[in-house]
Amino acid sequence: MTTTTGDTVRIEIPFPPRAVPTLRLRTGPCHLRFTPAEGPAWINGTYSDPTQTLPIDIRSEDAGATIAQRIDLATVGEIQLPRLDLAISRERPFAVDIQAGASDSTFDLGGLPLTRLVMKAGAGRFDVDFSTRNPMTMARMDLELGAGAFFARHLANANFAELRVGGGISACTLDFAGDLRGDANARVDAGFASLDIVVPAATSARVLVKSFAAGTQVSSGFTRSGDTYYTPPAVAGQHPLLAIDISMAFGMLGLRTP
């Protein structure tokens, strides 16, 4: 499953017996890159830790796999950020549960057959892109954001039924571009944040905004009725419909069409 050469660990994890396994990532300080791949193995990758102070633990079991960093207290000193590169197979559906700390992370989830996604992002920079459509229906996606910068692109390609986003003191962009195939609901709760919501003008979208001591900037691509904003297809009653409910306090909300 793993081999080590110098300061680099090579990772190879086959698909486990469970029909829909779960991949759990638990990372602290690191550069993390997550990309889709072809091939029979579920996960291929490398982990490079030049100072060998943040070793990686890898566990594979019937229900899935866990990849986690830990701190080696015996060797703690000057830390050079490790790098974790993971290529994930599109062969079978699976779920992902991510807890990432102060990291610089890039997730290309394009075309991965995800049934569930939970992501807890700490104080770092996180770039998430559903570059191509998820072939599976994702019942729910949860994003919990910390004091960092978070960018999510092509969210309509995630093929979610429900999206829940919670954010603290963060800068966040949620771009709902992509191929919306069915009605979808998103709820965003943010405080002390800079939140930018991007919805293509061709997408039928209804955005309800409840704010307290928060500034709001809305582009001309929306029609307003009270606290609710509509794109032209939503005004015409078209489906599928993307319904976004936003609750915001002490921050700045931008709502725009690209």
Question: Model confidence at 76, in pLDDT bands (50, 70, 90)?
Answer: low
For residue 38, give the H/E element and its range. Answer: none
pLDDT average, residue stretch 64-90:
82
d(CA 86, CA 96): 13
Q: Which residue has the higher pLDDT, 78 or 231?
A: 231
Tokens of 235: 């005004």
By mean pLDDT, which of 7-11, 93-97, 168-172, 208-212 is the weakest? 168-172
d(CA 228, CA 207): 6
Question: Would you give the distance in Å from CA 232 to the centre of its chain?
Answer: 28
Residue type, 156: A
> Which residues, other chains included, contact 237 with Cβ-Cβ below 8 Å and sequence gap of 6+?
none
Residue type, 34: F
How big is the chain, counted in residues? Answer: 258
Q: Which residue has the higher pLDDT, 190 or 116?
A: 116
pLDDT score at 251: 85
Q: Where are the domains of the chain?
A: 1-88
Q: Is the pLDDT of residue 250 over 90?
A: no
Percent share of the chain, pLDDT over 70: 94
The alpha-helical segments, DSSP class H, found in the chain are 232-235
Residue with tokens 């962009």: 173
Torsion region of 112: left, alpha or beta (phi above 0 gives left; psi -120 to 50 gives alpha): beta
3-state SS, residue 218: strand
Q: Per-residue pLDDT tens for 8-61?
A: 999 999 999 999 999 999 998 899 999 999 989 999 999 999 888 888 999 999
Question: Model confidence at 74, in pLDDT bands (50, 70, 90)?
Answer: low
pLDDT average, residue stretch 54-76:
84
Q: Is the pLDDT of residue 148 over 90?
A: no
3-state SS, residue 39: coil
pLDDT score at 167: 79
pLDDT score at 6: 63
CB 249 within 8 A of CB 213: yes
d(CA 253, CA 214): 7
Percent share of the chain, pLDDT over 90: 74
Starting at the edge strand found earlier in the chain, the sheet holding 2-5 runs 2-5, 8-13, 43-48, 83-89, 31-37, 104-108, 125-129, 149-153, 171-175, 194-198, 252-256, 215-218
Tokens of 231: 């794109």
